[in-house]
């Protein structure tokens, strides 16, 4: 393969350590457990793209479809119709809270439920997400949040996506809450550790009836900040950044960087024009 010359507008930047990111998508939209498993396996194989401090991984996670078969089971166990899990207004929230919120009577839980009620969402199931804390390293165990799952039915009227977006902002701005995901489509699972820990920490990820047609995986290589489960990705939409050093590098280049970007864009336009003539 012939790579572009270093002074070419198409030249690639020098290779650097960076996070691992992977996505598996079923073209026909058929959810399978293999889709999730292949994503986790790929993150494990890209361990060289992940960072660690004293043997503790910088954090990793997966963003999958809501596992509706699992939620059908949980709804039925709570006295609701199982097929509500397949409805367009079915919402699943994954919230990371301070450890003290694990107590059922914690005031923070009541404050969260009040915000959900104010948004018009009906809580059907609320439960601690099953985890195996014993697989975490010492540092991750000390900083382990309480992972709270909520299954809700959206209001009969209004733009549900906007309602959930506004609720997401309210939860994180008014309360000490990290919203891992709050959606009618996706669910995020993340942990402070290496990818090998994901399915060990979250037993649900090993269940054969956990199905997904689109799964995104991320393993973090922290270059400017210390590892933290709240910084682990994917975030509720996607999430992957170039860290602060990317911004600083562009700032140092100043006008030259902007000129280079303009030159690259002009070269792309020229190439496109020439290609269209053939």
Give the residue among 208, 235, 241 at the shortest CA–CA distance from 62: 235
Q: What is the DSSP letter of 53?
A: E
Decide: 221 and 17 in contact? Cβ < 8 Å. Answer: yes
Q: How far is CA 184 from CA 89, 123, 154, in A?
A: 7, 14, 9
Query: Can you give the length of the chain in residues?
Result: 278
As a whole number of angstroms, the distance between CA 155 and CA 137 comes to 41
**Pair 180, 131: CB distance under 8 Å:** no
- Listing DSSP states for 103-148 in one string gives STT-HHHHHHHHHHHHTTPEEEEEEEPP--GGGS-HHHHHTPPEEE
Could you give the CA distance from residue 1 to residue 15 in angstroms, rounded to a whole number? 17
* Cis? peptide before 186, omega within 30° of 0: no
Residue 252 DSSP label: H
Q: Is 19 a catalytic residue?
A: yes
| Helix, strand, or coil (residue 156) | coil
By annotation, the residues acting in catalysis are 19
């Amino acid at each position: 393969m012939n790579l572009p010359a270093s002074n070419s507008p198409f030249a690639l930047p020098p290779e650097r350590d960076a996070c691992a990111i992977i996505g598996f998508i079923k073209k026909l939209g058929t959810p399978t457990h293999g889709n999730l498993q292949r994503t986790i396996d790929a993150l494990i194989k890209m361990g060289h793209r992940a960072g660690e401090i004293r043997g503790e991984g910088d954090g990793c996670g997966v963003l999958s479809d809501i596992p509706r078969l699992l939620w059908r089971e949980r709804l039925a166990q709570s006295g609701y119709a199982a097929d509500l899990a397949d409805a367009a207004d079915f919402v699943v929230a994954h919230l990371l809270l301070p450890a003290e919120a694990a107590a059922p009577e914690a005031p923070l839980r009541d404050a969260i439920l009040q915000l959900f009620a104010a948004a018009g969402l009906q809580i059907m199931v609320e439960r601690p997400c099953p985890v195996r804390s014993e697989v975490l390293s010492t540092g991750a165990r000390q900083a382990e949040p309480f992972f709270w799952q909520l299954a809700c039915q959206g209001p009969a009227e209004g733009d549900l996506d906007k309602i959930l977006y506004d609720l997401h902002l309210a939860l994180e701005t008014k309360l000490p809450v990290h919203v891992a995901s709050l959606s009618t489509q996706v669910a995020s699972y993340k942990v402070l550790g290496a990818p090998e820990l994901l399915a060990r920490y979250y037993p649900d990820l090993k269940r054969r009836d956990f199905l997904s047609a689109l799964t995104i995986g991320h393993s973090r290589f922290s270059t400017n900040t210390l590892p933290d489960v709240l910084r682990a990705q994917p975030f509720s939409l996607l999430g992957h950044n170039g860290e602060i050093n990317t911004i600083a590098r562009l700032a140092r280049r100043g006008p030259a960087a902007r000129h280079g970007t303009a030159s690259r864009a002009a070269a792309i336009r020229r190439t496109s024009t020439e290609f269209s003539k053939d």
